[in-house]
Amino acid sequence: MIRFSVLILCLLICVGCGPQQVTVEDHQSTPAHIELQPPVTIESFVRRGEPFESTYTAVPERVVAMWQNSIETIIALGEGDRIVAGMGIPDRKYVRPEYRAAYDTIPYKDLKYANLESVLMMKPDLLVGWKSTFTNKMLQTPTFWQARQANVYIAESSLGAQSALTMDMEYKYIRDLGRIFNRNMEAERLIQEMQQSVAYTVAQTANEKPPKALFIEVEGKHFRLYGHKTLAGNIGDSLHADVIDTETPSISMEDVVEQNPDVIFLIVSDGEYSQADVIMNYVLTQPGLQGVNALRNKRVHFLPLLAVYSPGIRLSDGIDIVSHGLYPNLYPEGVPDLIH
C-alpha cells in the first residue's frame, strides 16, 4: 500500500483559544478508491432555509471530521481509515470501546480545531461538522471548500432550535453518510437497530401509565429544560413518557416540586464529566426537592449531552439511557453509565 507523510507546522500550545496550527504526520495507508455510479447528490444546510448541494463521484478518501457524532458515525459505517483528522473529542475514554482502535489510527486528534491553514494542508475532500464549524471565523463556508474540490456536510440538528429536533434527523444523518461512503446497507442496519429498540420498549410498556419525565441541565440556581422540541424530549415522547415542558427555557426548583417527576434525566456535557458527581450531588441534596418522586425512588440518571445533541450513532445511547430510566421493571440491569 502507498504510504504518505504530511507535515503540518508546529503545534502552538494555546489553551482556550480558537483554531490552532498543528503538526500532523500521516502514516495511514491510502484507502481504496471507490467510484460512485451514479454520482450521489446530498442536500445539506448552511442555516435553516439555506440549502446547498454536494455531489460525490467517488467515496471521500481524506476526511476531516469535527465532533464526536461525525467521527464515531463514520467509524461505525466501517470507514474510519478515511479520516485524516478527528476534532472535538476531549479524551479517548469517551469513545465507544469498539471504535477506539479505529480512532487511534486517525493521524490528528484533538479537542480543539486545527486552524484553516493546517486543514488546507491536510488536503481533505470532505469535511463533516456542525453549523458552527463552517463560518468565516472558523473553517470557512461550504462555498470556500467546494471551490477547492472538497465537499461539506453539516449535521441538520446543529443548525439551532428554530424547529423541533427529532430522532428522524439523526436517522437522516446516518443515512446520508451511508450514501456518501457507499455504505447504505450498514447505515440502514444501524438505523433499524435503534428503531427496533424503540419499538420493543413501546410494545412492552403499552399498558403502563406513562412515567412523568424531566430532562434538565443545571444552570445556576435554575435548570435548563429540555422539552418536546429537543432531541431528549423527542426520545422521551417516542418512548411514551409524559415529558415535562413549559413555555420558558428554564424551570425553577419550585416548579420541579410542583411537577413532581417520576424520573429525572440530568444532562451533562463532556466538559463537565469530571464534575458530574458534584453536579449530581447538588441535585440530590437540594432540601426543597427531597419530596419529589424521582429523588425518593432514586431515579435520577445521567444523560450525557453527546447522546442527545446532534449525536449521530450515539443516538442509540440516548435511546438506551432513556428507555432504561423510564422503565426499570423492563430493564432491571439499570441505566447505562457513559461517564464513569
Of 117, 138, 119, 143, the residue nearest 46 (C-alpha): 143
Quick one: pLDDT at residue 26?
A: 58
And the C-alpha cell for 333?
440491569
Q: Which residues of the chain have pLDDT under 50?
A: 1-17
Q: How far apart are CA 218 and CA 282, in angstroms?
A: 9
And the C-alpha cell for 233?
424530549
Quick one: pLDDT at residue 203?
A: 98
And the C-alpha cell for 325?
430510566
Quick one: pLDDT at residue 160?
A: 75
Of 11, 8, 316, 324, the residue nearest 173 (C-alpha): 316
* Whole-number CA gyration radius for the chain: 21
Q: How far apart are CA 266 and CA 69, in angstroms?
A: 20
Mean pLDDT, all residues of the chain:
90
Per residue in 94-142, pLDDT (tens digit) is 999 999 999 999 999 998 888 999 999 999 999 999 999 999 989 999 9
Quick one: pLDDT at residue 143?
A: 94
Taking the mean position of all CA atoms in its chain, how far away is CA 257? Answer: 31
Taking the mean position of all CA atoms in its chain, how far away is CA 146? Answer: 25
3-class DSSP string for 264-300: EEEEECHHHHHHHHHHHHHHHCCHHHCCCHHHHCCCE
Quick one: pLDDT at residue 47?
A: 80
Q: What residues contact residue 189 under an 8 Å CB cut-off, 6+ apart?
A: none
And the C-alpha cell for 268?
451533562
Q: Is the pTM of this model over 0.85?
A: yes
